[in-house]
A = this chain, B = another copy of it.
Amino acid sequence: MNIDLAVTWTEAQHVDLTGRAVVVIDVLRATSTIVAAFHSGARAVIPVDTVEAARAMASRLERGSAVLGGEREGLQIDGFQLGNSPLDYTPEAVAGKTVILTTTNGTRALLAARKADHVVAASLANVSAAAERLHNRDQDVTVICAGTEGRLSLDDLHCGGMLISRLLEPGVVRELSDGARAATEWFVSNAGNAEHVLRSCFHGQRLAALGFAQDIAFCFQIDTTAVVPVWNGHALVLDEVPRAPASAQEATGEGADRV
């Protein structure tokens, strides 16, 4: 298995994804939110790139079966039921429903990944489950970090490096790309410090200034779920029954930030 990593979704546009497994990461906050939605029982998440496309899609779906979620400049969109806060995605809000989601970075990264053979969404909440799934496929992997408005974002780099480190353990990796090496080096040097990384990075500071400090506290928790959203050609879905993690409580928080 070879592992590549793009630090932004725009960098990923320079990558041939044919025949590869892709994992999309936007820790603050899109993939954390998507993973939370599935953990709360959402049936599907459809990423769309514009607010208008999201509204049009919702109007075509059966009334009550879909909820609109997302953000622009970090804030909930006018007329949408949910923002981009993972805390919004409770079982009451999303169980059994299709979430139509549009965000500034993460959903665009997902859309950029669609040409790949296999696409999953990962955050710190499901990083080990996502790594296990990729390991079982034994296919070359490209990690696409969403980044923040075209810039490298340390929340995503940290999670990408953590995921790669999980894949290194079984000894099946032949080669890491330059970006994969940089992410792994970052993670190894900052293992155990996910909370600090998320609070101190540019995007974390901006979210805190917008009043979303609780979201950060949610997003730095590690391996709290085993759901792995998979792209089925139309939407993200769960294609197998998620199992509860063996020890979700013990695996939560920065203490579980294994190298």
Q: Could you list which residues of chain A lie within 8 angstroms of chain B, going by C-beta atoms?
A: 6-8, 10-11, 13-15, 148-154, 157, 177-179, 181-182, 185-186, 188-190, 201-203
Provide the bound-state CA to CA distance between A126 and B180, in Å. 28
Provide the bound-state CA to CA distance between A6 and B148, in Å. 12
**Shortest distance in angstroms between A13's beta carbon and chain B's nearest beta carbon?**
7
Q: Which residues of B contact A189 (CB under 8 A)?
A: 185, 188-189
Q: List 23 A-B contacts (CB under 8 A).
A: A6-B152, A7-B11, A7-B182, A10-B10, A10-B11, A10-B14, A11-B150, A11-B152, A14-B150, A151-B177, A151-B178, A151-B179, A152-B178, A153-B178, A154-B181, A154-B182, A178-B202, A178-B203, A182-B186, A185-B186, A185-B189, A185-B190, A186-B186
Q: Which residues of B contact A177 (CB under 8 A)?
A: 151, 202
When C-beta atoms are compared, the residue in chain B nearest to A155 turns out to be B178
Provide the bound-state CA to CA distance between A189 and B188, in Å. 10
Told that A14-B151, A153-B178 touch, could you supply 6 new A-B pairs with CB distance under 8 A?
A: A10-B11, A11-B150, A154-B182, A157-B182, A178-B203, A185-B185
Given A157-B182, A202-B177; A151-B6 close (CB under 8 Å)? yes
Task: Determine if A14 and B149 form an interchain contact, defined as CB atoms under 8 angstroms apart.
Answer: yes
Number of copies: 2
**Shortest distance in angstroms between A195's beta carbon and chain B's nearest beta carbon?**
16
The 10 A-B residue pairs with the shortest CB-CB distance, nearest first, are A14-B150, A154-B178, A152-B179, A185-B189, A178-B202, A178-B201, A185-B186, A152-B178, A182-B186, A153-B178
**Shortest distance in angstroms between A44's beta carbon and chain B's nearest beta carbon?**
32
Q: Which residues of B contact A7 (CB under 8 A)?
A: 7, 11, 152, 182
Given A153-B178, A182-B154, A185-B190; A11-B11 close (CB under 8 Å)? yes
**Shortest distance in angstroms between A141's beta carbon and chain B's nearest beta carbon?**
16
When C-beta atoms are compared, the residue in chain B nearest to A153 turns out to be B178
Provide the bound-state CA to CA distance between A157 and B157, in Å. 14
Q: Which residues of B contact A14 (CB under 8 A)?
A: 10, 149-151
**Shortest distance in angstroms between A124's beta carbon and chain B's nearest beta carbon?**
17
Provide the bound-state CA to CA distance between A182 and B185, in Å. 9
Interface centre among A7, A8, A178, A186 (most CB of B within 10 A): A178
When C-beta atoms are compared, the residue in chain B nearest to A204 turns out to be B178
